[in-house]
Amino acid sequence: MLNQANTESLSVILAAYNEAENLSFLLPRLISILNQITSDNEILVVDTQQPMDNTREICEMYSVKYLNRQGSNNYGDAIRTGIKNSSGKYVIIMDSDGSHKPEFITELWKVRGQAEVIIASRYLSGGKTNNPWMLVFMSKILNLFFKYFVKIPALDVSNSFRLYDGDRLRSLKLEFSHFDIVEEILAKMIWEIQPPSKVLELPFEFGKRISGKSKRNLLVFSYNFLLAIFRLNQIRKDAKRNTLNS
């Protein structure tokens, strides 16, 4: 449990789905980095509803908080479960497959007071991604849609590796079920909270997963992101309407 009086407390949320092998490499690095940043930290690993590997045992080995998803095994429920159980002044969400290097947390932490959302950005100048070219192409197209059609003021809206103001993040009512919850969080942090959350991007190199295969089905992934464009546009319009009527 974090010290609630400490304004420098940090929670890190990792959604896990058959990622025990990767966590065994990632957690000791993550723990070392966090202890250098602030002693008041917690790691929350959110597993599937019913354990599918030895993720729980890995978490117990490194004394990190182990949780099972509430609601379903969807990614969205993993993120909601993690946010609900976090208590840090600042919250970081990152992948558990090793593609998000824990060492970069030090860069996010340095600028924590400059914005309420700080994005590790692949598409800002100096950023990079090591995914296959087809995934990179699809990601860039989707991000352009979110920037120009949904009008989210960021170059990389689909990378989940971000630092948030914890109180603002926990105040959101999040409804999306899949990886599109990443965009939902960003949109609602900007449009549904007053004053609007400031967004800052830092150039980041997105790595390859350490082991195993991605759980993302490309067809489902693409469909949900295209649907999210329309859903987020409606959220933006509703927020604008509520502001005018208030």
Closest listed residue to residue 88, CA positions, set 105, 68, 69:
105
Report for 61-70, 209-218, 220-229: range of highest mean pLDDT: 61-70
Closest listed residue to residue 176, CA positions, set 92, 235, 116:
235
**Surface-to-core class of residue 132, CB atoms within 10 Å of its CB (0-12 exposed, 13-18 middle, 19+ buried):** exposed
What are the φ and ψ backbone dihedral angles of 220, each rounded to 5 degrees? -65, -40
User: Whole-angstrom Cα distance, residue 227 to residue 80?
Assistant: 20
Pairing of strands 205-206, 128-129: parallel
Average pLDDT estimate for 79-100: 96
pLDDT tens by residue, 234-243: 888 888 887 7
Amino acid identity for residue 182 in this structure: V
Which strands form 162-165's sheet, in the order they lie side by side?
Answer: 65-68, 41-47, 10-15, 90-95, 162-165, 117-121, 199-203
Residue 50 has pLDDT above 80, yes or no: yes
The predicted structure's pLDDT at residue 159: 92
Average pLDDT estimate for 36-60: 96
Structure tokens given for 163: 């630092």
Structure tokens given for 40: 């008041």
Domain ranges in the chain are: 10-245
pLDDT tens by residue, 127-148: 988 877 667 777 777 777 777 7
The predicted structure's pLDDT at residue 3: 58
pTM equals: 0.90
Structure tokens given for 39: 């002693």
User: Whole-angstrom Cα distance, residue 149 to residue 141?
Assistant: 12
pLDDT tens by residue, 189-221: 999 998 999 999 999 999 887 877 666 655 666
Mean pLDDT of all residues belonging to the chain: 89
User: Whole-angstrom Cα distance, residue 12 to residue 190?
Assistant: 21
User: Whole-angstrom Cα distance, residue 93 to residue 166?
Assistant: 11
What are the φ and ψ backbone dihedral angles of 91, each rounded to 5 degrees? -130, 130
Cα-Cα-Cα-Cα dihedral of 156, 85, 62, 34, to 10°? 50
Fold (CATH) for 10-245: Spore Coat Polysaccharide Biosynthesis Protein SpsA; Chain A (3.90.550)
User: Whole-angstrom Cα distance, residue 186 to residue 158?
Assistant: 9
